[in-house]
Structures are given as C-alpha cells and as structure tokens.
Chains A and B, each alone.
Chain A
C-alpha cells in the first residue's frame, strides 16, 4: 500500500513536546499528533504556518522518527537564512506551541523492513533525515536487512544524529555507517574526507554482502546529482536509485 490519501491525512494540529538541538544549524522538533498516524520511513509532512492577516506559509519536512514512534514524530529542521518557515522554528517556536501539519505524504522515497535489502542510503547534510527514519525503523523492527549509509557532511560537528549513528554502527548487526567530511579530515579510520565519488560508492556497495536492491539518495540538488551519477558509475542500475532533492 503506497497511496497516501489526503482524505486520510487532513490538516491537524500537533503540539511541540520537545526541542533538541542537533547541530549548529539543525534542530529537532518533536510533535505530538492530535490525530496519530503511522507513516512509512522516508515519508514527509507538510507544515503550515498562518499569520494573523491570513497569510500562510507551507513547507515539506521529512520525518526523522521511525514509524514505530507512534503518535509523535520528529522533524529535524535546518535553518535557512532566507527562509520564512525554518527561521520561525529556530527563533520563535517553543514547547507547547501548536502547529498545523498534514501527512504522511510521499509514496516513492520509502523503505519498509518488509522490503528487505541490501539497501544503500546516501545522504548529504539534512538529506540524512528521511534516511534516519529508515535506519531507526530497521533497528526497531530488528530487521536483518543489510544497510549501508554514506553520509556526507561538511564537518564533524554538522553530522546530524552523529552519536546515535555511531552507536548503531558499533552494534555490527548489518548496519554500516560511512561518514565523509568535505571540509575536515576524517575522524574514524573507515571514513573519508572528500566529496562522494564513484570509488567511494564502489567501496560502499562492497560493504554489503550482495549488490543493493535499492539505493536512496537525498540532499541538495547538486549533491543528489553528483551522488546519483557516482552510483551509476559504480554500476548501480539507474532504475534502482530513488532520489529526493531540496533546494535550488
């Protein structure tokens, strides 16, 4: 079932129950839903803000929490300097505030433990957010599907969910984390310090026991273009690569 029917996902109010700074530019907001839904890992919600004069601003945000986080969803929101919604969250929103949102939405960039693997996840910056939902879902479902996550960040302190991801990597249960920093030296022996390229994608797929059955790539447009091409150059068939892009 991949249809996300809006008839089943009308606008609802959700209350902010927790705010947690993830990196200097990314903060997680936890929303308790007034109408609980179960999303699929990789899906997003639309968020709508309304000004007193009736003006509304709407943006889509990927859900970072696993489907198992019943009734509460986590959105990890990056502050965009010229934005109008992300600055509101970073500068104004407080625990207890009610926000309108709608979802879950999106029926392509999704993965379920029942889909199996191996799967290759490739994220750039806050593009890791929907991939994090997949990783968490895999863990909570005790899935044995082999998963490799290649996560590119500028610097170590901008690796969103860093401690949690390294903790999952340390379990050696079939989840493999590959970090690559584009503006700092690597901090772990198995990590990289360069932009994603085909050689890195070849090595990432070699960490999986078999070639991936699906690859998910999320990040800025420039990142996704480069990473998807690197995957194709690493002989991952284009038809197995799903992308989600944001930004210009």
Chain B
C-alpha cells in the first residue's frame, strides 16, 4: 500500500541497497538494546562453559579463553528493530575453535547461548560452525564495551542481532530447538533478516 505523501529518500538506487535486507535502514551509529541493566563484569570473574544439556563439557577462564586462536570477522549486522550497520569489525574465537579445544564435534543439532544476566537465545548448531559465528572479544580493535556485551558476546551476523547474545558465559547443546528469551516473547524462532523472520509466525 503506497503511503500518501511518502517518498523514498534513496534516489537513485545505490550499490548499498543489495546489502540491506528488506525493511531495514542503514544506521551509522551503534544503538544499544537490552532487556535489563548493563551488567558490569570483571574479566577476572568471567568464565565460559560449554555444555551438553546440564552437563558441563569444558570451562575456560578469561586467560584460558584468550589463549584460543583469535579470528577477525568484518560483517554487516541487522537488528530486528530495523537498523543495519555495515562493516562492523570484530575479533574473537570461532565456535569451531572452541569445539576443537574441547575436543568434541557438536553432540546435537541445537544450541542455547547463555548469558550472565540470564538471557538466552537459541541457534541451530550448524549456524555456529564453519566460520559463521564467534565469541567476540574485541570490537574495532578494542575490548567490547559493557553496553555492547563486553567482555564477550556471541556474534552470529547472518541472523538478527538478538541472536548475538551479549555478556555470554556459555553455550549449551540441546536435544531440541528450545526457544530463548525473546523467542518466548514473540520473536521468530530462527530470525533470518533476508527472509524478514522478525516475529513468531513470520514465514
């Protein structure tokens, strides 16, 4: 439905258009979104636990985790609130490298990302593998600020950004695809920006 009196501010089309998923707009800043207060976490108190169901497989402290191979990833990110940000530059540990350090292959097809503040979000295991996702430790070369999920956050750039859980402290393999915090509150179970999977029931 054409809106009376509304005209596109984007003439002529640019090369950028192909990088912006439907319904998104280009954001130059970096908005902060979260369901609660920003946790202030000290790296000396930080840990990351890999779990299969309730059972811990391996746990790393900050020093041990930072000794894992670091990978750079520069990606466009897409928030369900309709902003897209180009070329965000991260460094962190690929989920592949975490699994390798734990000496396991994914035991199930599904995961829940777990955060210090109780936040959770579900991601199929295959979406975390083959270099598609990392536990990010640096943004633009600097430690990630608390508002943006520091000391460590998940980065799954090909899904809406609520999947890239802030203040990450674990990754849990689950037998079934278990909805996380926002998925239980009306957001899509998978969240592909290119298919506009924003809310429950979107195709």
Residues of A at the B interface (CB closer than 8 Å) are: 2-9, 13, 46, 48-53, 55-60, 84, 88, 92-93, 97-100, 105-109, 221, 225, 228-229, 231-232, 238-239, 241-243, 245-248
Contact = CB atoms under 8 A, between A and B. Distances in A.
Nearest to B200: A5
B201 interface: yes
A51 B186 contact: no
B36 A88 contact: no
Closest 9 CB pairs of A and B: A107-B185, A7-B201, A248-B29, A55-B8, A4-B186, A6-B199, A228-B37, A51-B8, A92-B5
Given A49-B6, A238-B36, 17 more contacts: A2-B186, A3-B184, A4-B199, A6-B198, A8-B201, A53-B8, A53-B11, A88-B6, A97-B3, A100-B3, A107-B185, A108-B185, A232-B37, A241-B36, A243-B35, A248-B30, A248-B32
B141 interface: no
A115 to B, nearest CB: 15
Q: How large is the interface on B (under 10, 10 to 19, 20 to 34, 35 or more residues)?
A: 35 or more
Majority secondary structure, A binding face: mixed
Nearest to A236: B37
Given A50-B1, A52-B2, A107 B186 contact: yes
A98 B5 CA distance: 11
Nearest to B32: A221
Interface of B: 1-11, 22-23, 25, 27, 29-39, 81-82, 117-118, 147, 181-182, 184-186, 188, 198-202
B1 A245 contact: no
A1 B42 CA distance: 36
A99 B1 CA distance: 9
Contacts of A8: 201
Contacts of A105: 186, 199
Contacts of B27: 248
A221 B147 contact: yes
Which of A8, A49, A99 is the most central at the interface, judged by chain B CB atoms within 10 Å of its CB? A49
Nearest to A240: B36
Nearest to A11: B1
16 contacts: A4-B185, A9-B199, A52-B7, A53-B11, A55-B10, A58-B25, A60-B82, A84-B25, A88-B5, A92-B6, A221-B32, A229-B38, A231-B37, A242-B36, A247-B31, A248-B31
B87 to A, nearest CB: 17
Contact of A106 (B117, B118, B181, B185): B185
A70 B147 CA distance: 37
B202 to A, nearest CB: 5
A221 B201 contact: no
Contacts of A245: 31-34
Nearest to A97: B4
B3 A107 contact: no
B185 A243 contact: no
Contacts of A97: 3-5
A151 B203 CA distance: 40
A6 B186 contact: yes
Contacts of B34: 243, 245
